[in-house]
Structure 1
């Protein structure tokens, strides 16, 4: 009376599901973090695109007037100051240049783009209008002294901002 086994026993099936569950528990959190980082990088790229669109009108204003625009003048120069993920673009004339800060919205963005309930910031700045730096370079030789640095995490910044 020999019987050929044609499938898995209940114990073997339960062990298979237990192993799959353990592997899923180990693999899902890192995969989810990679996904979250990717979403944050995409959202930061929108802010970076808005910041880059500001550069030409600001440089043209500086070339024409010999000074950086005030907030009111900036508002008339730049029509797109918000985006799907960006709450505002804020200009700041500096003693040695000019900076524009993109602030992220507090709703509808990746949790990585929030800092204590407030949207993180990404910054572009220039000393002369010819070269724009991104985020936090205050070095007198290569950056813009006095700029207020942005606080977007480095892993979410575009490559030119690292």
Structure 2
């Protein structure tokens, strides 16, 4: 008698392949969800570029004494699916991005963009724009801060660090 050749896979081989695919999916899905949320935060950071330029313009002018300070005539902003609001602190120029629930685990989580001068080694907040001031020397730097971020100046936002881009952690 001639031995029959095996054709196809056995049931146990198929079960092993299905189990491996299941394990990979269980690991990949949470990582992908965090990745999409970080991409949504990045949308907010790109929308904030006009606000950064606005703060830099007021700072470069110096001797600004309006009660609204850095927040005088800010750029127009319309809420998006991911970004609920962008605000500028009048005295410090700190830009706060407020996100919708699509980004974090809850609505109204924030990331702050802190303007500073003096370099990263010795950051100094910008002068109060609601009073007369002399512009700081040198370039303005920006530090993105999510929950738990520490920089030496400015307050961190409330968005969990795992949902923020690397430069915000």
TM-score by length of 2: 0.69
Give the match for residue 56 of structure 2: 59
Deviations 1:10-69 (Å, cap 9, x if unpaired)?
A: xx5321221112112211111112211221221111111122321111221244352577
Q: Structure 1 residues 74 and 82, CA, compared in 2 at 3 Å: closer, same or farther?
A: farther
Distance 1:20 1:49 in 2: 42
Q: Structure 1 residues 13 and 70, CA, compared in 2 at 3 Å: closer, same or farther?
A: farther
Give the match for residue 5 of structure 1: 5
Distance 2:64 2:16 in 1: 69
Distance 2:72 2:29 in 1: 39
Q: Of Structure 1 and Structure 2, which has the larger fraction of its residues in helix?
A: 1
Deviation larger for 120-129 or 30-39: 120-129
Cα offset, 1:138, TM superposition: 5.5
Query: 1:26-65 alignment to 2 at 5 Å?
Result: 26-64=23-61, 65=63
Q: Structure 1 residues 38 and 75, CA, compared in 2 at 3 Å: closer, same or farther?
A: farther
Cα offset, 1:75, TM superposition: 7.3
**Count of residues in correspondence between the two structures:** 144
> Does residue 111 of structure 2 align to residue 122 of structure 1?
yes
Deviations 1:55-104 (Å, cap 9, x if unpaired)?
A: 11122124435257739x8373211353341111122235xx22111111
Asked whether the equivalents of residues 122 and 151 of structure 1 are also in contact (C-alpha less than 8 Å), the reply is yes
Distance 1:134 1:40 in 2: 16
2:94 is paired with a residue whose SS is: strand
TM-score by length of 1: 0.72
Asked whether the equivalents of residues 71 and 93 of structure 2 are also in contact (C-alpha less than 8 Å), the reply is no
Cα offset, 1:151, TM superposition: 2.3
CA RMSD of aligned residues (A): 2.8
